[in-house]
Amino acid sequence: MADIRGTFEQGGAALGRVHARSNNRKALAYWLGFLKGILASEKVESAEFAPLHVEAENFLKLLHDPDAYELIEDLRIWKDEPNEIYDIIENIVAMRSRDFVIDGEKDEINELYGFCAGIACDNRITAEEVAKLLGRLDTYPRIQGDKRVANLRNAARRSIADGRVTPEESDDICTWITHLVGDSASDTGMATFGNVGVIEGALEDHNEVFFDGQMFVLTGKFTLGPRKAVQGMISDRGGEFKSTVCRNTHYLCVATEASRDWKHSHEGLKIIRAMELRDEGKGPHLVHEGTLARALGR
C-alpha cells in the first residue's frame, strides 16, 4: 500500500493513467454537449462552420478522434451544404452517445458547458435553442445554486416569454453563457476552448489573501508551476491545503491556464461547492491565480 501511495504522490504512470481517463471523459462529455448545442436550433447556420471546425481540430489534437477528423474533412467537402453537415453531426452524436453514457455530476456539468458553448458559438441564440437550454438547466439540480446559472436561466426565460428572441435578448444570453463557460463567441467569434468562466465575487486585492493557518484548495493548472510547487509556496508562508472544498476552506484558488491534457478548464464542482457554501455564509474566498501570485510575492 505504501508503494502504491508513493507512486501516486510522485506522479507516476498509474496516476497518469487515472488522469488520462478522467481527462478523456471530460473531453468526450464537453464535445458531445457542444455538438448537441450545434443541433439545438435544428439546423446548422453558416456562422457555425468556423467555430465547429475549431472545436473539431482541438478535439482531434486532444484525443486523436477519428470522428473529429472525418468531420473536419466533411466541413471542407460540404462547406456549402449545411443540411449535410447537420445529418453528419446528428449521426456522430447518436453513435457516440451509445458508447459514452452520461454518468454522474461531472459528466453532466461538462456536457452542459459544451452545450452552452455550442449554442453560443455563432453569437446568436434562437428560440429553439432557448427552449432546449432551459430544459437542460432545469435537469441538473446541483448547478441551481450557481448565480451565473440563475442569471442565464432568468435571461433565457425573459427572452422566450413572448415566443421570440430579439437580438438584444440573444446578446444578453450570450453574455451570461460567457460568464459560465469563458471566452465564447460573444468575444471571439469562435467556440470556447481552454478558458475559465467569470467568477463573480473573486478577491481582487492581493493584500486580502493571508497564509498563516489558512486552508487553501487549488483547481486547474497553474502558470506559477506544478500544483505541488504552488502548494509548497503556500506551505512556506504558513498555509495549509486540501484537495476538496469544505466548510473550513478559506481560499479556493483558480488557475488561469487550461490543463495540458484537458483544455476545457471549466471549474466544475469545486467552484459550485464554494458558491453553495458562500450562499450559506460559510464559503471560501475565491482567488484567481494572478491575485494569488501577487500575494505570494509580497
For residue 287, which of 264, 260, 262, 267 has the smallest C-alpha distance? 267
Q: How confident is the model at residue 256 (pLDDT cuts 50, 70, 90)?
A: low
Paired residues of 286 in beta bridges: 252
Q: For 143-170, what is each residue's pLDDT tens digit?
A: 777 777 888 899 999 998 888 899 999 9
Where do the domains of the chain lie? 2-188, 206-296
3-class DSSP state for residue 138? coil
Q: For 71-120, what is each residue's pLDDT tens digit?
A: 999 999 998 899 999 999 999 999 999 888 878 777 888 888 889 989 98
Q: Where are the alpha helices (DSSP H) in the chain?
A: 2-9, 13-39, 49-63, 66-77, 82-99, 105-120, 127-137, 147-160, 167-181, 185-188, 227-236, 269-279, 289-296
Q: For 15-59, what is each residue's pLDDT tens digit?
A: 445 446 667 788 888 899 999 999 999 999 888 898 888 888 888
pTM beyond 0.85: the answer is no
- Which residues have CB under 8 Å from 231's CB, separation 6+? 216, 218, 241
Rounded to an integer, what distance in angstroms lies between the CA atom of residue 96 and that of residue 25? 12
Residue 236: alpha-carbon gap to chain centroid = 31
Look at residue 169 in the predicted model and tell me its pLDDT: 92
Q: Which CATH architecture has domain 206-296?
A: 3-Layer(aba) Sandwich (3.40)
* Backbone conformation region of residue 182, classed left if phi is above 0, alpha if psi is from -120 to 50, else beta: left
